[in-house]
């Protein structure tokens, strides 16, 4: 196993992480049945599903920093059934039946997150759907292509009734998406697990070794080890880190919300090439994020990417262009984090019963729901419990490698730049950008 690269690290300064919890340090024992490396959703849900299947298991979670330090404590809070590969591409890859099975499983995971959150109201779980809107003809054309059993087309006036966006031409509404406060979900999972007897060690760097883990410098025996470190885990060429950045406004008053709409708290985004995503938080702010930060050469995590000023500025301007009423709003938080992207944009869940090593990740920015599902699959694999989810197409698949540098650097950053250029072209011409043809094969979705 390659070494794990982690930035020097300041605190996760996301909006969500403003509420901290006491540091978790317990007495480290010599051995556990299962050692989990990483205290984000993947690690926590793995422990959750394992203890649900077998409450007698002795489990330890090792988190190098603090729970939710990674993407799980920094994300946009969309618990959606979105998958990093387009549905149509997936159908060609694995067929309709297996594609349908995947989306049903994702929907099931949203409901599972909802059921868990119903005991933890602070998570602010609201399954009120997601709305993608179009502000030029090219975006509209692409949106119409998304309409299916799950996605309903809305005219411009129907969008405006729900969300008063300027220049909107139409939209697509999908009811199967929930809004959450992700950090509160991390905290709620941790407290649930502690009650179930799971030991959680923060500030503990762990490395998988034969027969267990090295936790800081102590050997801890564990016949099963799970690596749940996503973008932080041994990049090599199996996945690359891509940065997503976010900002949050101050809490908005009632009259501003009457002007904007969205009393239901559905998630929303413009259907541009450059990924963007927004939610109305439980305390009435808007938290909005987007891509656009460049990929770091050699896949090395770089903290400076989390605060790329230009990207934060672009996101603020995008929000103000949607809602002119926010012209002089104060933005109280700005942050960012890395997601892990595999070459075919598919997640991975791997378990090797011979050496007792498992890992999960590669969610490419759609990990809030997917981490629950991946962890459920992994728990069933480890305990060898029958479940049809074990047949999902990405389980125990070899990960296709990214190109070596500098091809990878040039390819990925061209994609980042071209997405921005294609959006600008579509805003001006109203026609689908010809760059589309270059972008699509590059990302292989
Ligand atoms: C800004 C942003 C917005 C996003 N928005 C959304 C969204 O709206 N919806 C969605 O579905 N997905 C979103 N995502 C993606 C989603 O947050 C992630 O896919 C998901 O949180 C990954 O969870 P994880 O537990 O696998 O990884 P992480 O949350 O990154 O957890 C990994 C943990 O491992 C720890 N660690 C690393 N190395 C070690 C070690 N050696 N020893 C011990 N601990 C270690 C890290 O400190 C970290 O806490 C977003 C991501 C970002 C960055």
pLDDT digits (tens, 9 = 90+) for 186-199: 999 999 999 999 99
pLDDT at residue 103 greater than cutoff 60: yes
CA 183, chain centre distance (Å): 12
Ligand 1 centroid to Cα of residue 372, in Å, is 12
Backbone angles phi, psi at 218, to 5 degrees: -95, 135
Separation CA 179–CA 171 (nearest Å) = 19
Interval 117-130 mean pLDDT: 97
Those residues whose C-beta lies under 8 Å from the C-beta of residue 246, and which sit 6 or more positions away, are 14, 15, 74, 75, 76, 287, 288, 289, 290, 315, 333, 334, 335, 336
Match 């190098």 to its residue by tokens.
64
pLDDT at residue 3 greater than cutoff 50: no
Separation CA 240–CA 84 (nearest Å) = 14
Separation CA 119–CA 340 (nearest Å) = 30
Those residues whose C-beta lies under 8 Å from the C-beta of residue 43, and which sit 6 or more positions away, are 36, 37, 61, 63, 226, 228
Residue 2's pLDDT band, with cuts at 50, 70 and 90, is very low
Ligand 1 centroid to Cα of residue 144, in Å, is 32
Instruction: Order across the sheet with 357-361: list the strands.
Output: 199-201, 59-62, 34-37, 224-227, 357-361, 348-352
The radius of gyration of the chain from alpha carbons, rounded to an integer in Å, stands at 21
pLDDT at residue 265 greater than cutoff 90: yes
Higher pLDDT, 428 or 221: 221
Interval 85-113 mean pLDDT: 95
Q: Are 247 and 331 in contact (CB under 8 A)?
A: yes
Which of 23, 35, 215, 365 gets mutated to test ligand 1 (max ligand atoms within 8 A of its CB)? 365
Ligand 1 centroid to Cα of residue 409, in Å, is 22
Ligand 1 centroid to Cα of residue 280, in Å, is 21
The pTM of the full predicted model, rounded to 2 decimals, is 0.95
Burial class, 216, CB count within 10 angstroms (exposed 0-12 / middle 13-18 / buried 19+): middle
Choosing among 3.90.1150.10, 3.20.20.20, 3.30.9.10, 3.40.109.10, the CATH entry for 127-177+239-343+405-443 is 3.30.9.10
Domain residues of the chain, as ranges? 127-177+239-343+405-443
Mutual angle of helices 96-117 and 87-94, in 10-degree steps: 130
Residue 293's pLDDT band, with cuts at 50, 70 and 90, is confident
């Amino acid at each position: 196993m390659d070494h794990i690269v982690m930035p020097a690290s300041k605190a996760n300064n996301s909006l969500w992480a403003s509420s901290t919890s006491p540091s978790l340090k317990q007495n480290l024992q010599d051995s556990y049945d299962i050692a989990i490396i990483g205290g984000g959703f993947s690690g926590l849900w793995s422990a959750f599903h394992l203890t649900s299947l077998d409450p007698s298991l002795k489990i330890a979670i090792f988190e190098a920093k603090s729970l939710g330090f990674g993407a799980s404590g920094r994300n946009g809070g969309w618990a959606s059934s979105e998958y990093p590969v387009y549905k149509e591409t997936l159908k060609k890859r694995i067929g309709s039946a297996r594609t349908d099975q995947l989306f049903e499983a994702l929907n099931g995971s949203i409901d599972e997150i909802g059921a868990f959150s119903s005991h933890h109201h602070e998570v602010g779980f609201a399954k009120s759907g997601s709305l993608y809107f179009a502000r030029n003809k090219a975006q509209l054309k692409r949106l119409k292509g998304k309409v299916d059993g799950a996605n309903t087309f809305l005219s411009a006036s129907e969008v405006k009734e729900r969300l008063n966006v300027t220049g909107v031409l139409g939209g697509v509404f999908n009811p199967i998406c929930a809004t959450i406060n992700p950090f509160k979900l991390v905290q709620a999972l941790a407290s649930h697990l502690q009650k179930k007897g799971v030991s959680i060690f923060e500030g503990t760097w762990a490395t998988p070794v034969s027969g267990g883990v090295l936790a800081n410098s102590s050997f801890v025996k564990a016949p099963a080890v799970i690596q749940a470190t996503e973008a932080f885990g041994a990049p090599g060429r199996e996945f690359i880190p891509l940065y997503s950045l976010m900002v949050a406004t101050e809490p908005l008053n009632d009259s501003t919300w009457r002007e904007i709409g969205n009393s239901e708290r559905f998630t929303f985004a413009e259907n541009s090439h450059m990924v963007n995503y927004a939610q109305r938080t439980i305390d009435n702010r808007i938290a909005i994020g987007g891509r656009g930060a460049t990929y770091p050469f050699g896949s090395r995590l770089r903290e400076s990417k989390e605060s790329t000023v230009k990207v934060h500025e672009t996101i603020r301007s995008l929000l103000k262009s949607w809602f002119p009423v926010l012209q002089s709003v104060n933005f109280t938080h700005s942050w960012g984090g890395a997601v892990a992207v595999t070459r075919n944009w598919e997640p991975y869940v791997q378990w090797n019963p011979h050496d007792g090593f498992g890992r999960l990740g590669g969610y490419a920015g759609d990990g809030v729901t997917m981490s629950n599902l991946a962890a459920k699959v992994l728990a069933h694999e480890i305990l060898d419990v029958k479940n049809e989810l074990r047949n999902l197409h990405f389980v125990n698949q070899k990960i296709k490698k990214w190109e070596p540098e500098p091809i990878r650097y040039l390819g990925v950053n061209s994609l980042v730049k071209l997405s921005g250029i294609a959006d600008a072209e579509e805003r001006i011409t109203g026609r689908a950008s010809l760059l589309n043809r270059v972008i699509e094969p590059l990302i292989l979705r």
